[in-house]
C-alpha cells in the first residue's frame, strides 16, 4: 500500500510531468505478441499480423500500418472474472483499482524447480507474511515460479506440445486452499503468475479460476521478469485492451519499483 500512496503523492504534487520516472525502476512484466507467442493447446487460432501498408507514399513520406488478430487468452493476458463465472464482470468493467494496485511477489521458484506440478500452499502465503507482513486487501499477488525462463519453448513451458491436446500439461500454479486464503480472507484484487494459468497444468476442474472468479478477482497469466521485483513495496499497472463484453484481453503489465 505504501508504494501506491507514494505514487498518489507524486501524481498530485509534481507539476506538469506528474510521474517522475527518475523515482522508479520501471519493470516490464510482459511478453511481446508475435509468431512465437504461446497459446493454450486447444486454441483454434493464434496471433496473426498482416501488413496493410509499408513504404514511401505519393506524398513523399514513409508510412506503415498493420492489422492483427489474436484470441483473448494467450501471451501475457488478463482473465476477466466472467471467464469462469457467468455472473463475473467482463473485461471492460474491471475496476481500475484492481488493475493499478500494490503488488507482492511470493517466490516458489525453488519448490517449482523440484516439482513442475507445484501448487502454491497456504504455508507459502503465511511464511511470506511472517517475513514481509500481512498481504493487504486490494493487492495484486504475483506468484513467481521461474517458469518464464522456458518461454517460448512450448514443450518446456507447458510440459507438452501436442497440438489440440491439453490433457498432458505440466506446470506450476496456485493451490485451491491458498487461493481461498488470498481471495476470501485477504481480499486481494488480482492473482498473477509466470506460467500459462493460475491453475496448475494438470488441473481438470480449474478450481483456482472458479474460486477467484466467484469473488470477481481476475488473473494475469504468462508474466515474465518477476525475478526483477522485490517481495513487496511496488505498484503494478496492468491495463488490458478494453474489449467490450470480453472474457479477457492481451495486457501490458508494468511494475513501478521505488528507487
* CA 184 – CA 215 distance, rounded (Å): 8
Q: C-alpha 8: how far from its chain's center?
A: 23
Please count the other Cβ atoms lying within 10 Å of the Cβ belonging to residue 15: 6
Alpha helices by DSSP H, the chain? 2-13, 96-99, 109-114, 122-132, 154-158, 176-180, 207-214
C-alpha neighbours within 13 Å on the C-beta side of residue 181: 16
Q: Annotated active-site positions, please?
A: 83
Task: Show the cell assigned to 12.
Answer: 498530485
Distance in Å from the first CA to the final CA of the chain: 16
User: CB of 145 within 8 A of CB of 155?
Assistant: no
- Of the candidates 36, 40, 28, 29, the one whose C-alpha atom is nearest the C-alpha of residue 71 is 40
Tell me how many helices (H) and strands (E) the chain has: 7, 12
User: CB of 213 within 8 A of CB of 88?
Assistant: yes
**3-state SS, residue 11:** helix
Strand partners, 185: none
Amino acid at each position: 500500500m505504501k508504494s501506491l500512496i507514494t505514487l498518489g503523492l507524486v501524481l498530485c504534487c509534481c507539476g506538469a510531468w506528474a510521474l517522475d520516472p527518475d523515482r522508479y525502476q520501471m519493470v516490464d512484466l510482459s511478453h511481446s505478441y508475435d509468431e512465437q507467442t504461446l497459446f493454450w493447446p486447444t486454441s483454434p487460432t493464434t496471433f496473426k499480423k498482416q501488413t496493410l501498408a509499408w513504404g514511401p507514399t505519393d506524398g513523399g513520406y514513409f508510412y506503415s500500418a498493420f492489422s492483427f488478430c489474436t484470441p483473448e487468452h494467450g501471451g501475457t493476458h488478463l482473465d476477466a472474472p466472467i471467464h469462469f463465472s457467468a455472473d463475473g464482470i467482463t473485461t471492460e468493467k474491471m475496476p481500475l483499482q484492481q488493475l493499478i494496485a500494490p503488488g507482492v511477489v511470493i517466490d516458489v521458484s525453488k519448490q517449482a524447480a523440484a516439482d513442475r506440478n507445484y501448487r502454491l500452499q497456504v504455508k507459502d502465503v503465511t511464511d511470506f507474511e511472517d517475513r514481509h507482513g500481512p498481504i493487504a486487501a486490494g493487492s495484486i499477488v504475483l506468484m513467481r515460479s521461474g517458469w518464464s525462463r522456458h518461454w517460448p519453448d512450448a514443450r518446456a513451458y507447458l510440459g507438452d506440445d501436442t497440438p489440440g491436446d491439453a490433457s498432458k500439461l505440466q506446470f506450476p500454479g496456485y493451490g485451491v486452499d491458498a487461493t481461498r486464503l488470498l481471495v476470501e480472507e485477504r481480499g486481494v484484487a488480482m492473482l498473477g503468475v509466470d506460467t500459462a494459468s493460475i491453475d496448475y497444468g494438470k488441473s481438470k476442474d480449474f478450481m483456482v479460476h472458479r474460486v477467484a472468479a466467484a469473488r470477481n478477482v481476475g488473473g494475469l497469466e504468462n508474466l515474465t521478469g518477476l525475478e526483477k521485483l522485490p517481495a513487496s513495496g511496488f505498484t503494478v499497472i496492468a491495463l488490458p485492451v478494453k474489449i467490450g463484453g470480453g472474457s479477457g484481453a492481451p495486457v501490458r503489465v508494468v511494475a513501478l519499483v521505488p528507487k
